[in-house]
Amino acid sequence: MVSGQGIKVIVNRDLPKIEVNGLTFGGYAAGDLVTLPVPMAEALIKRGYASLTQQDLVTLDDVKRAHWVEGKESTELTKLDKLFYVKARLSALNSGQGDSRELMTALRDLVSVRLRKILSMISVSPTGLPQEVMDKLTIEEEVLVKELTRIINPWFSRVIGGGQ
């Protein structure tokens, strides 16, 4: 879903250059700032080889604030960074175990509120959401909307059109 996206990380430990099937990776020194595909960054963060940059860290307060703002708006979606969920997940990997659990619980609450709004909007507009709404979505939400539209639009047409 987010594999084509890049995210900046700080290398924590030297990573030698590795070549696999003609692809070269690594050759980074501790302290290097590099942009990596999300799955690779996630794998390195899990193993302690990299960390998110300070500006990309998402704190528990950040998620709670986003949830509070989202809850204030009854039907409108607020704009989130395209990689907000990715950054929150990766931030949870960097935090302590208790903090990580709290962060993921708060993130789950935020995702639930946004999902309800997205589903409500798609039920009213099964052919797709307006661009101004799409611009407010995270990458994961964009994929969800495209998949739901692909499924719901023909279904809606069959139900309304009498199956023709």
pLDDT digit string (tens) for 73-125? Answer: 778 999 999 999 999 999 998 776 668 899 999 999 999 999 999 999 999 98
20 and 79 inside one domain: no
With respect to residue 67, please indicate whether it lies within any of the assigned structural domains.
Answer: yes
| Residues 23 and 90 reside in one and the same domain | no
User: What amino acid occupies position 87?
Assistant: K
- Decide: helix, strand or coil at residue 112: helix
Do 91 and 102 lie in a common domain? yes
Structural domain of residue 97, as residue ranges? 57-161
What pLDDT, on the 0 to 100 scale, is given for residue 19? 82
In terms of domains, do 77 and 156 share one?
yes
Instruction: Provide the number of structural domains found in the chain.
Output: 2
Which of 22, 23, 26 is closest to 44 using CA atoms? 26
Name the pLDDT band for 164 (thresholds 50, 70, 90): low
Which CATH number characterizes residue 45's domain? 3.40.5.50
CATH number of the domain where residue 98 is located: 1.20.58.2050
**Tens digits of residue pLDDT in 15-42:** 888 887 787 878 899 999 999 998 889 8
The verdict on 126 and 72 lying in the same domain is: yes
For the entire predicted model, the pTM comes to 0.85
| The residue to which tokens 């607020």 are assigned | 78
| 41 and 73 assigned to the same domain | no
Q: Determine, yes or no, domain membership for 1.
A: no
